[in-house]
Structure 1
């Protein structure tokens, strides 16, 4: 009986070990990056000390001393720089949220029109996309502001919609709600209705997947959101008054007023971003195999339900990732409001506040941190939804 002996392969030398080399390279890169950051920070501190400049945040409690034309939250001229920062954040988020809603709606409509078999509708949608997305956004903002909203009639010749809404070259005016005592019950009912609507939609989707039977969850959810708060509102005595806009002298007083710069900014951002969203929607729908539509047609499924329950759910797996980028781009592009004087974060914080206080480093750092936090939050929420929409293997 013969026996064979096996010898272990020779161990590589210490210098030729892959793990050792990887650790050495990573340590070298870490040391180099740390040294570079230390040099930049120390050099900046030295230069600022030579110029008697401070990088602290103690200026946030100092009175800003300037007025802001449009504020979503209460602000007075003597408020602190921290309040100015909060006003800029609120205005920026308002523009971003409204712009995202309008851009999504317009983009979905134009994207579906792009796929229309009607030659006229398809051609108009294609030219809408090609012309607007190939024009710089800054020029579109300026064109809407100076070429449209600044050329509207004066307040005395305002465009009137039923005596409730007025549009002129000084802005858009509408009735303003004034909550009375007891209105909190209506808000609580609205919150309950929204939570109930979400539950109805989730239940109807699970029921459809399990049994194949369709329950009008969207209709029921919409009815719940509308009817329950209305019932509570009238049961509590309709605790809501209205402040109506009225022409006094050369301008309107009362109600809610939106400046022309805000209107121009929202319109330009919505239209420009909708072009990219429309192409994303078109590509997502075309990524779904045409056999899905033919199979639904063979089973007698209505075209509207085919699009809603078969095509769009599958297309969303392709649409969501690039859609996240467009939402983030719209939020960051709102900083172009400084070109037409709308008081967003960049205008009131990076421009006016920086010029007055001279605290460039903390102001720039706070502005960058805000946009970074907003981008990460939007990206995180949509990524959660994206993971729920992805196919799971069994």
Structure 2
């Protein structure tokens, strides 16, 4: 079994005041799970991964792997394998030698090393490249070699620190699909760090969102998207991100530019005169003059083929900016004024304007 558990684990760098790069992280990763740590730069996600790998000290709390406390255990004795952003391949070795290097250090029999390398190469479509040096490979092939080196060790846990950052956009999409399929096939517990929330949403069984060293929410991609626990998660997850605007509370819901927007059932606005309203771009639509709506001044049109995204400001309030998804075949023009309304089936998310916490079921 290879469950991983962070138990109130912290990494504190000295300073005045001390910097809590990871602050009392409590997180359980199930055996065989693919968990993604995501957040902006400086959120503590890579530090949390390095704490698990033994490359960063754990100043408070503990970390366990398979029920064993590894907080003070040397990295080589933790039964983990790490894949880095930089590949970290030996340039003078062939692909086969790079993949089998860790096993040779453990004095594993040559025949066994060769067999494990062959199996991993077949799995990663690298059989034709086993005799090449890294300089003769593309970026995507080098990354697959780095993954193969981790696979042949058959560790309890895979750790991946932004492994796709150096790849171009098309190859990144292809490789992340390959990684997800490979993890499903191997069933090895995997913790994957990225700053790319699209990558996180498309790969992980669960996604843990960090900000300033603090865990904000850990849930399935769908739950993060549909029920973010605070305004930060709401704005970070989704591409384009959720519209977050200040709105006045009325008897009919919330008012945005004269438009009454229904709130989710259970939204206890209490004494709030204003709330932070969250609306996904697809929850908004273009409406006619005879339908409830508010005017939007179009300042940018992103045409993406089937869809287009309008960026604009609400009439009468230049501080209220919205993004609206529309049909990409007939999008409005830049500078045009359009009327927008809320899709009948969709309701707004509501957050406390001071704490940012969700105040709707």
Instruction: Give the shorter-chain TM-score range.
Output: under 0.3
Q: Compare relative contact order (CA 8 Å, sep 6+) and give the higher one, 1 or 2.
A: 1
Say which structure is richer in strand: 2
Alignment TM-score, normalising by the size of structure 2: 0.19
Q: Which has the larger radius of gyration?
A: 1
